[in-house]
């Protein structure tokens, strides 16, 4: 009669008997199921609201742009149209934004990405500085994929500020 296959002493260590543990687990599962249902209903309501106004939010725009740009016709059109692509604050790109850029990037390399991993501040918007770090590593290990240029001069920061920032980020 012990569905969790827990030794009795575990319940005693936590201050609960097995029945209480199972009841708490069941209540937690029911609460989670209600929360999931609430999220699904909210998502459905929000989608209906946007559709009713023929509207899109930022996430819709990104996903729709990617769906369009990944088609052969669109990617070829923009690949031919843009000789060079400049991406600033690349450390704050999301994986989806990176995929969008890749849809019309040329094989011979026409994308110039600028950023500083230490300045990434948009994780709450799904920014992933690891994308930049991975790209830097790939370019450093295989120059045929791209080149890394380090900006060694900074006219906005003193040596003391840079030393302090490097010390903090070195932790």
Whole-number Å distance between alpha carbons of 39 and 142: 45
Whole-number Å distance between alpha carbons of 6 and 68: 53
Beta strands 85-87 and 111-113: pairing type?
A: parallel
∠ at Cα 61 (55, 67), nearest 5°?
120
Which of 98, 94, 91, 47 is closest to 69 using CA atoms?
A: 98
Per the prediction, the chain carries an average pLDDT of 88
The position carrying tokens 């369009």 is: 68
What tens digit of pLDDT does each residue of 29-41 get? 999 999 999 999 9
Whole-number Å distance between alpha carbons of 29 and 32: 5
What tens digit of pLDDT does each residue of 100-141 get? 999 999 988 899 999 988 888 898 888 998 999 999 999 999
Q: Is the pTM here over 0.85, yes or no?
A: no
pLDDT at 13 over 70: no
Longest dimension (CA), the chain: 71
pLDDT at 45 over 80: yes
């Amino acid at each position: 009669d012990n569905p969790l296959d827990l030794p009795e002493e575990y319940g005693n260590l936590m201050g609960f008997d097995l029945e209480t543990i199972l009841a708490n687990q069941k209540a937690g599962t029911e609460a989670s199921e209600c929360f999931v249902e609430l999220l699904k209903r909210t998502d459905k309501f929000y989608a209906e609201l946007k559709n009713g106004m023929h509207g899109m939010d930022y996430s819709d725009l990104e996903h729709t742009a990617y769906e369009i740009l990944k088609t052969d016709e669109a990617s070829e059109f923009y690949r031919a149209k843009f000789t060079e692509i400049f991406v600033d604050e690349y450390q704050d790109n999301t994986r989806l934004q990176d995929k969008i850029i890749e849809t019309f990037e040329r094989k011979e390399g026409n994308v110039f990405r600028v950023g500083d991993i230490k300045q990434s501040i948009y994780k709450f918007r799904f920014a992933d500085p690891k994308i930049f770090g991975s790209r830097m590593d790939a370019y450093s290990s295989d120059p045929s994929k791209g080149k890394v240029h380090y900006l060694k001069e900074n006219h906005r920061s003193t040596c003391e500020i840079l030393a302090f920032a490097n010390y903090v980020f070195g932790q």
